[in-house]
Amino acid sequence: MQIKFDKQDIIDSICVFVAATHNNGEVEDSEPHLVQNPEVFFDKVRGFKASGMIYGHHTILNQQQLTDAVALYLSAYYSFISDRLLINFNYDEANGEFTVDIVVEH
DSSP 28: T
Tell me how many domains the chain contains. Answer: 1
Other CB atoms within a 10 A radius of the CB of residue 26 amount to: 12
Tell me the pTM.
0.94
Q: Where are the beta strands (DSSP E) in 1-106?
A: 2-5, 36-43, 47-54, 57-61, 85-92, 97-104
Domain of 50, in residue numbers: 2-104
pLDDT of residue 56: 95
Q: How many CB atoms lie within 10 A of CB 24?
A: 8
Tens of each residue's pLDDT in the chain, 106 residues: 999 999 999 999 999 999 999 999 999 999 999 999 999 999 888 899 999 999 999 999 999 999 999 999 999 999 999 999 999 999 999 999 999 999 999 8
Q: What does the alpha-carbon distance between residue 58 and residue 35 come to, in Å, rounded to a whole number?
A: 10
